[in-house]
Amino acid sequence: MDAGNASRPDWKQGATKSDGASCDEIVTLVCLVNGFPHHTQHIVSQENHSHYRSVWISDVHLGTRGCQATALLGFLRSFECDTLYVVGDLIDIWAMKRGVYWTQEHSDVIQKILRKGRKGSKVIYIPGNHDERITDFTGDYANVHIQPRAFHTTVDGRRLLVAHGHELDTVVQNLGWLAHLGDIGYAFLLQLNGPVNFFRRLLGQGHWSLSAYVKSSVKNVVNFIGGFEESMIHFASDAQAEGIICGHIHTAAIRKIKDLDYYNTGDWVESLTALVEERDGELKLLQFSISGDLLRTLAVCGKFEKEAEAPSSGPFREDLSEALVV
């Protein structure tokens, strides 16, 4: 799979590039080695905010056993925001064709997102490949807007493209049967996480993600992720944007690539991450525990601080994985 050779949609709408600042001071890739990341120079801290300017979540995969709906509910209940972006794969229609797993928590996630719209937040839902049938309902529904992609302007004036990312995945676009086969294999690895962690708990060891380990260790997967990131940057450049916010590959990151800003929100299956924008314009990548408590701040755009000691409690490994920092 070579995402770098993926075709890019033709952008006909012009845009003027702003003079806003970029994320020059931190370039971060959150690698899910051994489940969760170790020893970096990121900010690692507890956050407690009640109102964000913007929030981005993606790859929730409601309707599957792998979805960590309880964690997402904990996050959704902890904040209000001006704009909430749901960047694809909220519902996993692919998996639901094979068998539906739907709990009350899954329904609560939908209700919580809709409630934010009723309370005044602008909710922008950008369907991905697993919920692509939602594109049939593109349009505006009060404060909920379903659209294929969006543009977000940051406090400092940067124009960022927001898209799920499957548009540039050549396998998804050209070999749908292979994409579905890969999805079945990924779901199988996720199911193995349960028994693996059962025995780890018996041995007094912490949470560990087999699927994340395989994803971070297999060379072809690592190469695909790199190619995907490069393609998304070209996608943003074609759209005359200064960066891109996406999901799709379940690998949370904040990076600088070819002078453009790359943000990946991660997912709510393995990494349990979200991207938030403070009211002063600072963008942060946050990670949560399976119970929905804030575990740490993984990266901050435009800010670089020495590593702080991570909290000692929680169900996950407390060490951060290697990241690229320049």
Edge-to-edge strand order for the sheet containing 294-300?
139-141, 144-146, 122-125, 80-86, 51-57, 273-277, 283-288, 294-300
What lies within 8 Å, CB to CB, of 40 at 6+ separation is: 28, 307, 320, 321, 322, 323, 325
Q: What is the total residue count of the chain?
A: 326
Tell me the pTM.
0.69
Residue with the larger pLDDT of the pair 35 and 80: 80
What does the block give as tokens for 222? 């690592």
End-to-end CA distance of the chain: 28
Q: Which class for 296: exposed (0-12), middle (13-18), buried (19 or more C-beta within 10 A)?
A: buried
Beta bridge partners of 123: 84, 144
Which CATH number applies to 21-300?
A: 3.60.21.10
Distance CA 40, CA 186 (A): 28
pLDDT digits (tens, 9 = 90+) for 126-135: 999 989 899 9
What is the residue extent of each domain of the chain? 21-300
Check whether 46 has a pLDDT greater than 80: no
Mean pLDDT of the chain: 74
pLDDT digits (tens, 9 = 90+) for 96-129: 888 889 999 999 999 999 999 999 999 999 999 9
